Amino acid sequence: MTVRQQVLVLYLGTSALDSPVVGWSVYDGTGRTSPTTGDSDEPPYKSGVDALRDGWRLFQAAQLIPPYPGSEYDVSFLKHEFFFEKLAEGSVGPEGVAAG
């Protein structure tokens, strides 16, 4: 069996894993799907915990970093980023075609 990683990135409303999803991205190592920018208006899960319940394994959460002095009111990237993985059968050949 060839196993590849599927990665889900959820951006949550607060630093709590059970807070609502406000943004999302998917990267599929099996090559079976090609998610991209602006392809859905509906989030795959309502919260980070919902993703856990569906079998996604959390492997990274954003650190809580205090604002830099003088930049307390600046707005920039989304702060509450959580990375999940699933392992799935499949692989991608050098031409990008699903081979497994």
Partner 1 sequence: MAHFVAHGSLRLDAVVPAEMNAEAIGFLGRGVPGVPYGSAVADAYPEGSFARRLLDIPAVAGALRSLVGPHPRVDHHAVHVRDPREGSAQPLHGDAIIDVRTDAFDVQLMYYPQDVTLDMGGTLSVPGSHLRRTNETDTGRYQNLLGQSRLVCPAGTVVFLHHGLWHGGRRNDSDAVRYMFKIRFNPAVRQRRLWDTSDLEDPRVAEELMTTFPWYEPATGRLEIYNRVLLWRSLTGDESFDLEHWVTRVSNRPQEEVA
Chain positions contacting partner 1, by CB under 8 A: 9, 11-14, 21-26, 34-41, 43, 73-80
Alpha-carbon separation of residue 46 from 10, 42, 51, 62, 84 (angstroms): 10, 9, 8, 18, 14
Instruction: Provide, rounded to whole angstroms, the least separation between the CB of residue 11 and partner 1.
Output: 7
Instruction: Provide, rounded to whole angstroms, the least separation between the CB of residue 62 and partner 1.
Output: 11
The b/e string for 49-69 (b: 16+ C-beta within 10 A; e otherwise) is ebbbeeebebeeeeeeeeeee
Instruction: Provide, rounded to whole angstroms, the least separation between the CB of residue 48 and partner 1.
Output: 13
Nearer to partner 1, 9 or 58 (CB): 9
Comparing CA positions, the residue from 66, 82, 85 lying closest to residue 18 is 82
Nearer to partner 1, 68 or 94 (CB): 68
Nearer to partner 1, 55 or 74 (CB): 74
